[in-house]
Structure 1
Amino acid sequence: MFDWLLNRAGSNAATEAQRWVVLDVETTGLDSGRDSLLSIGAVALIDGRIDLADSFEIHVRPPSVSSKDNVLVHGIGHGTQQRAADPKEALPRFLDYIGTAPLVAYHAAFDQAFLARAIKVQVGLPFSNPWVDLAELAPAALPKVAGEVGGKALDHWLSYFGIPVAGRHTAAGDALATAMLLQRVLHELPAAQRQNVRRLQALAGAGKWLGAG
C-alpha cells in the first residue's frame, strides 16, 4: 500500500504511455461539491489491448445512503453502500492501481471532479494524472463517423460500432465499454500518435470545439 506515493514523488507522467487506464465512477448525484462517490471501475489498455487481468472495481461507502431514485440508475443498493469500503481505504487502493498512468473517461470532467475532490479530502493529496476525454477525442479522430453517430452520448457511439455492454450504468461495465470504444478510436490514428499523451490531449481539445455546435 502507498506505492503510489513513492511513484508520484517528484515525477511527471511520461509523454509516451504504454499503459492507459480507462475508468468510470458512479455517484450519489451530479454535484461533485456535494455528492459522493459510490463506486470506481477501471480497466487498463496495454499497448492498445484491453487487459482484463489488469482491472479494478471497488464500492466506496458514502456518508449517507443515496436516494431510491439514484439507486435505480446504478443498482447499488443501500445495503451494498453501507457495507462498502471506507473512502480512506478505497482511494489509496485506487491510486495504487492507476500509478502514474494517463486516464481516459467519457465526459472525463465529471469523473475527474469527483475523484479529485474525494482524494483531496480523504487522502490529502492533489490528483495529478493526465486525463483524456474520449467524448472529445472520438469526434476529433473520427470526424466523418461523428456525423453518422446520431448523438454525442456514449450510447450513440457504442451502438454505432456494435460494442456490447455488460452492466451499463455500472462503473465496471461502463469502463469496459469505454475501453472498447477507445480501441476503435486509437486504431484510426497514426501509430506515433496513439501513445503520445500530449498529442491526444491536443486532439481531444480540438474535438471539444468540433462538438460545440
Structure 2
Amino acid sequence: MNLVQNLKSAWYLKKLTRPEYKGMFQPPQPNQWVAIDCEMTGLNPKKDHLLSIAAIHINGSQIQSGEGLHLICRPPVMPKKDTIVIHGLRPLDVENGLSYEQMLERLLPFIGNRPIVGYCPQLDLGFLNQITKSYMGTALPNPVIDIRDLYSRYSGNRTQGISHQAQQLSAICQQLKLPELAAHDAYNDALMTAMAFLHLK
C-alpha cells in the first residue's frame, strides 16, 4: 500500500461510525483481490439506483467463482422499461430483494480489505460509496484497480484513439481470447473481469 493509499485509509478511518468494519482499513494481504460488478437503473448516482451487485474473490491465480456473492437489491424506485431491456431486472425481480443495509451487511465483510478489481469501477463505486457513507460514515477505503488501465498497458497504450466500443469488457475478453459470458449480468461481468485481471496482471 503506497503513501497516498495510507493517507486515504487514515482519513476514511476517522470518519468510520461502525467499528466492526475497522479491519477493512488494514493493509491487504498479498495476492488477494475481489472482482466487483453492479447493475443499476442508470448511470447517475444522484438519481438512479443500485439493483444488484456481484463480488468474487481472487486468491493468487485462482478465481473462487463458486463461492462468490450475487445480491439483488430492493431499490427505492422500481426499474423502468427502458432500463429493463439492458439489465433484465424487472420490478418482480427486485421488489423482494435485500435492503441496501442488508446488502452491505453481507457485502462489506466479503470485500474486507482486498483491493477492488473492476471494469470502469469508478461508476460502480459512485453508487456503492453513496450507500456506504450513509451506512458506516465513510466511503470504501480499498485500493481500486481498473482493468482498462491494465489492458492499456498490456496493449502498449494502443487503445488511445480506439473507439470506446472496442474497449468494452466483452471486447477486451475477445482480444484476450477469454470466454465471453452474457453481458449486463453482474455475476457474469464480475467473473469476466476476474479472468481478464488474472490474464493482464
Q: Same fold judged by TM-score > 0.5? A: yes
If the length of structure 1 is used for normalisation, what is the TM-score? 0.77
In the TM superposition, what is the alpha-carbon distance from 1:64 to its structure 2 partner?
1.3
Matched letter for residue 193 of structure 2:
T
User: Cα RMSD between the aligned structures?
Assistant: 2.2
d(CA) in 1 for partners of 2:37, 2:176: 20
| Residue aligning to 1:176 | 191
Helix, strand or coil: the match of 1:110? helix
In the TM superposition, what is the alpha-carbon distance from 1:122 to its structure 2 partner?
3.6
Matched letter for residue 12 of structure 1:
Q
**Per-residue Cα deviation, 1:1-57 (whole angstroms, up to 9, x for no partner):** x8961423xx4333x532100110000111012211100011111012211233111
Which runs of no fewer than 5 residues in structure 1 stay unpaired? 187-213
Matched, 1:62 2:71: no
| Residue aligning to 1:73 | 86
Matched letter for residue 69 of structure 2:
F
Matches within 5 A, 1:96-107: 96-107=109-120
Contact 1:27 1:38 in 2 (8 A): yes
Matched, 1:5 2:21: yes
Identity %: 27
| Residue aligning to 1:209 | none
d(CA) in 1 for partners of 2:26, 2:145: 16
In the TM superposition, what is the alpha-carbon distance from 1:146 to its structure 2 partner?
4.7
| Residue aligning to 1:50 | 63
Matches within 5 A, 1:1-213: 5-8=21-24, 11-14=25-28, 17-143=30-156, 146=159, 151-186=166-201
Contact 1:92 1:123 in 2 (8 A): no
Report how many aligned residue pairs link the two structures.
181
Matched letter for residue 179 of structure 1:
A
Contact 2:37 2:190 in 1 (8 A): yes
If the length of structure 2 is used for normalisation, what is the TM-score? 0.81
d(CA) in 2 for partners of 1:43, 1:3: 24
Contact 1:141 1:185 in 2 (8 A): yes
d(CA) in 1 for partners of 2:170, 2:182: 13
Matched letter for residue 38 of structure 1:
L
**Per-residue Cα deviation, 1:102-136 (whole angstroms, up to 9, x for no partner):** 00101111011111011112443331111011111
Q: Flag as ranges the 4+ runs of structure 1 deviating above 6 A.
A: none
